[in-house]
A and B are shown apart, each in its own frame.
Chain A
Amino acid sequence: MGATAVSVGALGGGTKAIGQAKRPIPATPIKIAAVSFLTGAAAAPFGIPGDNTFKMCTDVINKEGGILGRKIELASKDEAGGVDAQVKLARKLILEDKVDVDLGYISSASCLAVLPLADESGGLIVAYDCGTHELMEGPKSPFEVPKFKLGFKSSAHLGIDNIGLALFIKKYYPNIKKVAGINQDYAWGRDSWLIFETAMKKLMPNVQVVKTLWPPLGNTDFTAHISALMGAEPDIVHSSLWGGDAVTFTKQALGMGFFKKIRMAYSRGEPYPQEVGKDYPEEQIICCAGTHYFLFTPPDKASATLQKWFVAEYRKRYGKYPSYPCYHAYQALYAYKNAVEKAAKAAGGWPTIDEIAKAMTGLTFPSPSGPITIREDHSAIEDVLVGFSKMTPKYPFPILDPKRMEIFPAAQVNAPVGMRTVDWINSWK
């Protein structure tokens, strides 16, 4: 252990002083890398809001005197360029730039490729937005946790969205007959559909799947997919499309009269009404990847005040309402802050990244959308919010109809530690 800790220190750039009773707090700033899509289709709806939030929170934390008096030095990096580029970048960040922590990744593909590098290269990596449940799950349940000693996921995985959708559909449309799916052709899309389909089979056994389409990420022409879906005549179409794809799909579908016939159920559709604007169709089922919605007020006091401040502050700085990537960014940065402070208490000085990792495990802290808990499997769990899009005079884009918002508590939508989500769903009574 000691040996690895030394090498961790050496590789991870943490302080080498192991074993001393009292450890000094370095005067140097904390190096934090934030990796999001800064270019490409996912930049506007995801990367930029996420990165903005990282900047905003860093700024606030530094104004308050930093973490244990150390200022944060934030380096925003671009997630574009494909999985391979990300592997190389993460390596560089950990081994050469020696960042204290790598907060990032929106695409599940990036996460699947990068998180294993945490233990491999001995750097702390916190996945802040990507969704795939496979990231933290083992090959078969029960699996041993944590999967990665130094790899974390500070937001809940896609299980909550798709289970939430299934529960929501069961509640509002108990007697639909046909569903279809259009999901991007990689881990994110494939896994989202898998969970949704499994949950539907369990909750509404006699609903039949009439079509599943797999457009590639960054597809520009959905016309063929749209008419293929319309041809299959489902009642509801499940979709985990995100980023530019979601916007493009919606616009083209509008043009082809898609929404006149079919209702969409977006597993993470929350940012798009704001992106598309007033044209965005009403009565679509939209999930918020948690309870990340600017009109949602968390029950507990601390979170509620945070929410009020967060929405106002973000609106003030960037003229928009925070979308769920913003909340995810907040969670990642504050997970690190809280973990460091907790570990420092125990260690009496600046902690090693092993100690930070230990502190982050089982950590609970308030966030704008409610308290967040990071479990022993190094993955956070959250409640999930689902609703209908509805145009109101108050906003220039459809919001979630306040009267028909459903919140499913974490326990109802997250598999227990060490159990694969799919197995858990199948074990439902």
Chain B
Amino acid sequence: MWVIYTLNGLYFAALLFLTSLGLNIILGVMGILNLAHGSLYAIGAFMAAWTIIQVATKAPASFLFLSLLSGLVLAGVVGFLMEKSLIRAMYKRTLEYQLLLTFGALLLLEDVIKMIWGGQAYYASAPFDLLGAVDVFGNVYPIYFLFVMCITFLAGLFIWFFMGRTKLGIMLRAISLDREMATGLGLDIGRLSTFAFVLGSGLAGLAGALVVPTTPALLGIGMEPLILAFIVVVVGGLGSLKGALVGALLVGFTRSFGIAIFPEIELPLLFLIAGIILVVKPQGLFGR
């Protein structure tokens, strides 16, 4: 069973990593903690579920994975609109306004989702069923979970390469390091921030789209991932890719093994770890 526990931990960590990645980029580049990140995740989930339900009957099975794209794109678009209309006005404002604005956006989006998709649960397990299961050391394990890990791995790889090797990525890093200096270098902060926000939102949407074949798309589906992603970022360190990875693995395994071994205190344990790390190392494990 330990193999399966480990795989579960990895699977859970993978989803978290993807979610926290977006949160992290936005926080790093724009210094804004986006409390509405969970709602973007939810939008991705609903969009994907809807797509799957549409496709499942009409198009060949392989098209089911359009859902990932659709979720990513819609969340990205919403992110774009959000940045242009709201976040844009917040750069010069103080912390309380930034946080409250995204808090307002969170409340707003939750109901927008309700308006668009209604209050019903969307069951879209077609891709999950489609991929079936493999035998892992005598245990049945769904291929879809492995698929999620692969996607996440690729996404992580892409972000790592993008941030480290491409001009655009390096510019973003420059901003996250020192806004003033970056402005001094003549970087177009506005455009770059928009881009960062869209990227982050898209990643949240992708995470939502990935999870939806395993669980129905529901109102408030983004709340728990937000909090956990939040812990991941805090534990890993603001704006640190490596941190997000380690943090996600930490949370993922705490959960998987926690439930297997001491189910009663798995959740408090998580926050306890986060609390301790924050107290000892306020900037997080890999924070600057």
Contacts and interface: CB of A to CB of B under 8 A. Distances in A.
Given A40-B121, A221-B214, A214 B264 contact: yes
Contacts of B1: 227, 230-231
**6 interchain residue pairs of minimum CB distance:** A39-B119, A257-B140, A231-B1, A255-B142, A220-B215, A224-B259
Contact of A221 (B129, B215, B220): B215
Interface stretch (B4-12, B64-72, B168-176, B181-189): B4-12
A44 B121 CA distance: 7
Size category of the binding interface on chain B: 35 or more
A77 to B, nearest CB: 13
A43 interface: yes
Interface residues of A, number: 33
17 contacts: A39-B120, A40-B218, A78-B119, A212-B263, A221-B214, A221-B215, A224-B8, A224-B12, A227-B1, A227-B8, A227-B256, A228-B5, A230-B4, A248-B215, A251-B123, A252-B214, A257-B139
B197 interface: no
B275 interface: no
Contacts of A224: 5, 8, 12, 255-256, 259-260
B125 to A, nearest CB: 5
A25 B5 CA distance: 66
Contacts of A228: 5, 259-260, 263
B96 interface: no
A223 interface: yes
A279 interface: yes
A14 interface: no
B220 A257 contact: no
Interface string A240-272: 000010011001100111001000000000000
Contact of B218 (A41, A216, A260): A41
Contacts of A251: 123, 125, 128, 214
Interface string A76-88: 0010100000000
B113 to A, nearest CB: 11
Contacts of B139: 227, 230, 257
Nearest to A225: B259
Contact of B219 (A39, A231, A256, A260): A39
Given A227-B1, A248-B216, A260 B263 contact: no
Contacts of A248: 214-216
A43 B119 contact: yes
A284 B159 CA distance: 46
B121 A41 contact: yes
A227 B9 CA distance: 11
A162 B267 CA distance: 28
A5 interface: no
A238 to B, nearest CB: 15
A306 interface: no
B145 interface: yes
A227 B218 contact: no
A41 B263 contact: no
Contacts of B211: 220-221
A213 B263 CA distance: 6
B5 A227 contact: yes
B219 A223 contact: no
Contact of B120 (A44, A214, A257): A44
Interface in B1-21: 1, 4-5, 8, 11-12
Contacts of A41: 121, 216, 218
A224 B2 CA distance: 11
A255 B5 contact: no
B12 A256 contact: no
Contacts of A78: 119
Interface in A80-115: 80
A409 interface: no
A38 interface: yes
A323 to B, nearest CB: 15
B286 interface: no
Contacts of A231: 1, 4-5, 260
Interface in A10-55: 38-41, 43-44
Nearest to A48: B120
Interface in B202-236: 211, 214-216, 218-221, 224
Given A221-B215, A227-B139, A251-B123, 17 more contacts: A39-B114, A39-B118, A40-B218, A41-B121, A41-B218, A43-B120, A80-B219, A214-B263, A218-B218, A221-B211, A224-B5, A224-B259, A227-B1, A230-B1, A230-B4, A252-B214, A256-B133
B220 A40 contact: yes
Contacts of B141: 256
B260 A223 contact: no
A257 B133 contact: yes
A38 B119 CA distance: 7
Kindly name the residue among B121, B141, B142, B220 whose own CB sees the greatest number of chain A CB atoms within 10 A: B121
Contacts of B118: 39
B172 to A, nearest CB: 31
Contact of A43 (B121, B123, B142): B121
Contacts of B144: 255
A221 B9 CA distance: 11
Given A220-B221, A231-B5, A252 B259 contact: no
Nearest to B45: A220
Interface in B43-82: none
